[in-house]
Structure 1
């Protein structure tokens, strides 16, 4: 397990969206660096108390400070105990063996997982209402009324900070700040307490630089990347009429819970997001009094840490202990299997899907033949095809086909639209555009094997993306015409685009590498081409001669995460006594699996999506408010999970001091038993076709009807028999808990692959659906 593992997790240079992590060379044994010393739950019965440091914690801190001045970077004292300090490897190894220490690990540098979307989600919900006249989510409840609630919920955003002047963060018509709020608005040279208001009620910042002697943008809550403002506005932004990116994607911008409060914790800079800062933000957020925490960041799958050295898993565990729902992005390492991150069972893990809006920028060839392209540009080329057209490979030698500036001949490029290949990862689109522009080109066409659904924004030249098939048609036209000509049209925003949603190619997929017996991701939400607030000084996306835009269009599971965070905040506001696991259950069991054509949701490769792609399906805006039944994953479930995962009872009681004194790990604990924790989905691995597998679940009646009967139906794949015992649950009162078992058995002697299905409980008004996966 490496429970006190100090193997090196090193840092990466931050890139914006679909970026990978790269790590520094391993440090020498005697070289100091920041290590995180994790010591489990805070000892105090009042976790918010500033006096919650245990004696062993204080002793270790004093011993470090005696040896090194200013060695301690952060101390953690509210929901959990520990500190981050500059240590040598030898010192870290020594501390790792001290009493009360769960783990010691190098401070990792994580990455960001980088509005029509809300209207689309409501439209999808309306389709389901229309198809089910008995649904409780009819006109009486009002789809549009959902977002009017939630003014006393507080969403904490761990990200790159915030641009407080954005209209998305105005506090018009908002009431007083909840009295339970204990947070602060930190000041800096470019940020004052007046930047906070009744919407933006808190702003903190942390040192996220690995270096002691370089200037960074860390010393302020102000957003210098744009990402944090975008995320915060998506989750809880105020309603802003007439939002757009220079007229593209025009409409009303708003968050999922526009009357919720926002508390910002700046843990990321252009370098990345340090684990020690993330833990400090969790620690502060627990004390501040947030209801929901939204994290659009995480580790890349190739360096996925163990639970005991994962800052997000550690911080989230203790936040959930304190009743805070934690929502995280699944990662942008798809579409390969086993790439999902942030997969601890106490986290809501979110995949990314498209919405019913596209950005079309067509290529028109001589003879007025139109080729569909995708992209955001503001082309001022003539609308008729009069501009000379050339394939970059004909404009030079070597890497000319990739629009390499040193390989193309300027005379052949000047005044022409250039079609580039994009099959070499050594060339970014920005580099290719710069190369064509520097040689006098007037436009650029990218041809890609899988153009995907993510839109590329070009402010330097008219640019668009076409498929390889269409690229071959363009090349055929060039080769068969004496004087080939074309034009690139300015972007047209296409609404009511079908099919939607589809699962984005970049969205990380299950099963979880850490454990296949918890289904991850949990759910999907819009994460492609999302319009939301941006910092107002970003010259990189500014059109020449124009003021910087106040909104931007970006993609990633980063954008999907705050959609779910906003809905979770609304659920919390309507059901203030619900636990984080009840809220997660409501989100999962009410998800939809159909698109706006009424067909099963697909991936962007046109295959039918599975729970490994999108968990339970696409999140709904109203269904989670009244789910009928909820699966509550309690403390014992999480403690058993840690047992099954391989932790000893002494380690578990250090990690979770809320554990009952009499708690003991079940006998013969192993990873297969993880399938039995009370999760709203079911995942079984290592299924042996010659044996049966039993899992148990318990549900709580929240239908509000007192006496009600739920009946089970199963959708099982060929080759798998699924029996529910009992198949009826008769409730006599609200909040009553009942249990049932599900028995899985093979109907063939040699089952193969992954088998997907679902179990649904219904009482005529509510449908409570749990996806399941059985893997061989």
Structure 2
């Protein structure tokens, strides 16, 4: 077999792994051909010819055609056909159609309160609760599971006419027609699933709930007296409640096909959206390279057309190197907590109260009168460890019936739902789960008396059980506790860095595994690891929900209009709404200016005025990127770092893309564009990002990083550099003062990094901040320890939904 064919099969196998399904794909391949028009502005003849040829041979097997924002198509092909097409001129890449997965009142008030604490003599900024000039013309596109249009979060009361620039449609489908759209929900599209012909999926109506929740978080109208059966009560609202919503249903209960995601990007670009929000992506261990990632491809062309693209970072935490959706043109979002706790206490004999967490509407007596046992005391034909963890099949029903069980959750073999179901099956009346993560992020146990406690509190409960022959307890129903501290903290599930894809961007560092294969871009066959750009609330978020979902309803109760969810899926629309708010107040700003404004105004402190934590340790940029977003300051950042299409193309040069293929990616690429002769990942350091990176740092010589900032504040402004450098690292900024005038809006500076002592192998962090006493423009950096690389880098900055 030819080496080229062998590599094709290897790449096909890897792509199948990337679906996260561990099975063969659906036989559909995506053929990506770059920009929709040639550099001269004419339509791509090669796209028409190739697609026309395929239609003549396999007309019914063409799944999607992309022609608005970029060029290409998706079709059922054999491996041989895919390989042949990949070798044709004008084709950037060919890859199997991947199956990606989905990655939610008080959160906006908490963000405003937090950022108000951080104001440094800042003149009044934006308030998400007040109407912003131009906000009604801002359009947020949501790529997700669809929408429940009847939700009050999508009412169009007091909205004016739909913006005349809107070119989209309200696509009819099963249980959804054009009248379901209004002046708030102005567009809806859905995409056929090439895997099946289930007509239930042929609709923009949300069959899962995830899309409704996300859309309401980003741009929901104000709804008073919202709650989940009385919990988290208050006024529900989105980050940009005056913005319009356009929905693109790309996901079904099965997952999200890449061919549909690309079609939605293509449509959204032509429809006229301003912001795109994607709470979905590959699992961390399967994330594809740029050339075969539908989200990366679609986002590149959307950003080139002036659309800000915001994506969830994934729910692969707390382990390192798990962040997805990390292309430098994407704004990637981690998840944090807010100052609200869903508390369900355990009361022991003697009325000793232990704070637990979770959502339950238990009806046990408030007095501790129920027998309490440890799981290992009910062992039946199993190991003591299995019984201690209350694994299905390990417990004696006679010993469980009528009792509350204390169980550990350390084995990882069974989910909490499986353990709950086992206790219910055996007649248990309550469950106390010892798990630090579940205590921090509330799960919904509905009407069953269940709560989660920390390992420390679990040890206290176990000590009580051992101290008496008749241990008793009760589990109280959940109450919402406000002003909880510390907050924010980084959610345990939120995906982390550091990067392992490109050492000079910490959105990327090459791995040793590579092959040239038939890959037209001659790219490394790597995995994409990095860290988030910013963090936003993603724990215990209340937002709208489909009104017919009995799966989240309490017994004998109507389905709720709102639901509480956690995940980076919920953090992403917070930033999408914020991006729309910034856009409405600064309509001429580019996506990179909006990203810069959000990143450089983020905060790194919590409501105790201490550093943000992750679990019980101090969090780092690996966890939260540039920090927790600020809704007060982001519309007025003072300075911005602008990154244009040429910067991204140069990034691809330095990342290993061939110049011939790069020229296919953009219709605005200038004549004579070439990659640097010395193109390498080291040159990525000078991309004009809101942060910096430098590799192979030593004590023998300094390394230089260059940046340019644009003044978006008052005309006459003097900024001074403030450096926060870790011990052992010398950081010098030249010049250390920037004087802007009415006619001088852009100024450049250089930063010199040098080790003053040898590294001990630990990663260390610091920052550079420009301030004029009114604005603070903050850029974090991290120096990688020698154990990883002699590198100093500044942060450039889902299984199914949680």
| Structure-1-length-normalised TM-score | 0.94
Shift of 1:312: 0.5
Find the partner of 2:108 among 112, 115, 118. Answer: 118
Structure 1 residues 454 and 590, CA gap change in structure 2 (3 angstroms): same
- The residue number in structure 1 matching 2:492 is 505
Q: How does 1:621-700 map to 2 (within 5 A)?
A: 621-700=631-710
What is the match of residue 392 of structure 1? Answer: 375
Structure 2 CA distance for aligned equivalents of residues 425 and 735 of structure 1: 59
Q: Which runs of 5+ in 2 are unaligned?
A: 507-530, 785-789, 791-802
Deviations 1:76-112 (A, max 9, x none): 0011100000000010000000000000000111111
Provide the residue aligned with 1:57 in structure 2: 47
Give the stretch that moved more between structures: 102-111 or 458-467: 458-467
Tell me the residue number matched to 1:16: none
Alignment of 1:598-613 (within 5 A): 598-604=609-615, 606-613=616-623
Q: State the 1:405 CA deviation.
A: 4.5
Give the Å deviation of 1:633. 0.2
Distance 2:679 2:459 in 1: 58
Q: 1:450 to 1:290 in 2, by over 3 A?
A: closer
1:747 offset after TM fit, Å? Answer: 0.6
- 1:71-150 matches, within 5 Å, as 71-113=61-103, 115-129=105-119, 132=120, 134-137=121-124, 144-145=129-130, 150=135
1:193 aligns with 2:178: yes
Match of 2:308 in 1: 325
Residue 556 (structure 2) pairs with residue 545 (structure 1) = yes
Distance 1:640 1:86, change over 3 A: same
Matches within 5 A, 1:2-41: 6-8=11-13, 22-26=20-24, 33-41=27-35
> 1:597 maps to which residue?
608
Q: Secondary structure at the match of 2:487?
A: coil
What are the superposed Cα offsets for residues 430-479 of structure 1, whole Å, 9 maximum, x if unpaired? 22212211222111111125445210111241100012222222222223
CA 1:361/1:589 → structure 2, altered by over 3 Å: closer, same or farther?
same
Aligned to 1:312: 295
Deviations 1:517-563 (A, max 9, x none): 22431111001111111111222211000001111111111111100
Q: Which moved more, 1:642-651 or 1:655-664?
A: 655-664
Q: Does the Cα contact within 8 Å between 1:74 and 1:276 map onto a contact in 2?
A: yes
- Give TM-score, length-normalised by structure 2: 0.91
Name the structure 1 match of 2:140: 155
CA distance in 2: counterparts of 1:407 and 1:86, whole angstroms: 48
1:344 to 327, 331, 341: 327
Q: How does 1:460-609 map to 2 (within 5 A)?
A: 460-519=447-506, 520-604=531-615, 606-609=616-619
Q: CA deviation at 1:401?
A: 3.1
* 1:603–1:609 Cα contact (<8 Å) kept: yes
CA displacement 1:157-179 (0-9 Å, x = unmatched): 00010011111111111111100
State the partner residue of 2:516.
Answer: none
After alignment, is 114-123 or 544-553 more displaced? 114-123
Q: Partners of 1:11 and 1:258 in 2: how far apart? A: 40
Unaligned runs of 5+ in 1: 13-19
- Does the 8 A contact of 2:389 with 2:408 survive in 1? yes
Per-residue deviation, 1:144: 4.4
Superposition CA RMSD, Å? 2.1
Match of 1:745 in 2: 754
Change (3 A) 1:190 1:10: farther
Deviations 1:11-64, CA, capped at 9 Å, x for gaps: 69xxxxxxx96333457xxxx7000000000116798xxxx7521111111222
The reply on whether 1:181 has 2:166 as its aligned counterpart is yes
C-alpha separation in 2, matches of 1:9 and 1:541: 37
CA contact (8 A) 1:702 1:735 kept: no
Quickly say closer, same or farther: Cα 1:750–1:365, change in 2 above 3 A: closer
| Matched residue SS, 1:249 | strand
SS of the equivalent of 2:753 reads strand
CA contact (8 A) 1:401 1:421 kept: yes
Q: Structure 1 residue 146: deviation in Å? A: 6.1
In the alignment, what sits opposite 1:730?
739
Q: Mean Cα displacement is larger for which, 730-739 or 522-531?
A: 730-739
Q: Residues 569, 119 of structure 1: CA spacing in aligned structure 2 closer, same or farther, 3 A cutoff?
A: same
Give the direction of change, closer, same or farther, for the CA distance of 1:348–1:665 in structure 2 (3 Å limit): same
Larger relative contact order (CA 8 Å, sep ≥ 6): 2
- Residue pair 1:191, 1:220 contacting (<8 A) in 2 also: yes
User: Would the aligned equivalents of 2:104 and 2:543 in 1 still touch at CA under 8 Å?
Assistant: no
Q: What is the alpha-carbon distance in structure 2 between the residues aligned to residue 773 and residue 172 of structure 1?
A: 48
Structure 2 equivalent of residue 427 of structure 1: 414
> Which residue does the alignment assign to 2:251?
268
Bigger shift: residues 388-397 or 642-651: 388-397
Q: Aligned to 2:571, what secondary structure does the other structure show?
A: helix
Task: Summarize the Cα distance change of 1:337–1:528 in structure 2 as closer, same or farther, 3 Å threshold.
Answer: same
**Counterpart of 1:293 in 2: which secondary structure?**
strand
Contact 2:362 2:447 in 1 (8 A): no
User: Does residue 244 of structure 1 match 2:227?
Assistant: yes
SS at match of 2:147: coil
2:511 aligns with none
Helix, strand or coil at the partner of 2:135? coil
User: What do the CA deviations read for 1:259-282 (whole angstroms, capped 9, x no partner)?
Assistant: 000000011111111111100000
User: Is 2:772 the counterpart of 1:763?
Assistant: yes
Choose 271-280 or 408-417, whichever is displaced more: 408-417
Separation in 1 of the partners of 2:40 and 2:480? 53
The number of residue pairs the alignment matches comes to: 752
Alignment partners' CA distance in 1, 2:567 and 2:301: 27
Cα 1:10/1:402, change in 2 over 3 Å: farther
| Distance in 2 between residues matched to 1:597 and 1:652, nearest whole Å | 48
Q: 1:378 to 1:231 in 2, by over 3 A?
A: same
Is the 1:713–1:761 Cα contact (8 Å) retained in structure 2? yes
1:362 alignment partner in structure 2: 345
- What residue is the counterpart of 2:198 in the other structure? 215
